[in-house]
């Protein structure tokens, strides 16, 4: 059940988020600006999901990108958007609190 849920959310197989972050992965928070201001991962970039396609130029296609949001739903959608635009190293980190555990 948990693996099926992870697959639906685009989290796929386990990946070492801590290792990705240590090696310079971009942390992309796709929550609204107001949500982001209430708390976020230090060093993360905030591009709300509904503004992502018009801000792709702010992201480096050559670096791994870890998406995060409040629960993992929007970050899963963001992962799909990025992959559809040619980003190949994209990982759904789930909630920003989950990603923050690796900082």
User: By residue range, what is the domain housing residue 46?
Assistant: 2-100
**Banded pLDDT at 14 (limits 50, 70, 90):** confident
**The total number of structural domains that make up the chain:** 1
CATH of the domain at 75: 3.40.250.10
What is the per-residue DSSP string for the chain?
A: -HHHHHHHTT--S---HHHHHHTT-EEEE-S-HHHHHT---TT-EE--GGGSGGGGGGS-TTS-EEEEESSSHHHHHHHHHHHHTT--SEEEEEEHHHHHTT-
Give the residue-averaged pLDDT of 20-44.
97
* pTM summary value: 0.87
């Amino acid at each position: 059940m948990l693996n099926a849920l992870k697959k639906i959310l685009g989290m796929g197989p386990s990946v070492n988020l801590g290792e990705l972050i240590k090696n310079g992965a971009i942390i992309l928070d796709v929550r609204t600006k107001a949500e982001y201001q209430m708390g976020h991962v230090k060093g993360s970039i905030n591009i709300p999901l509904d503004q992502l396609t018009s801000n792709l130029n702010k992201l480096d296609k050559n670096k791994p990108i870890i998406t995060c949001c409040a629960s993992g739903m929007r970050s899963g959608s963001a992962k799909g958007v990025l992959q559809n635009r040619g980003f190949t190293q994209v990982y759904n980190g789930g909630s920003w609190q989950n990603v923050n555990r690796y900082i």
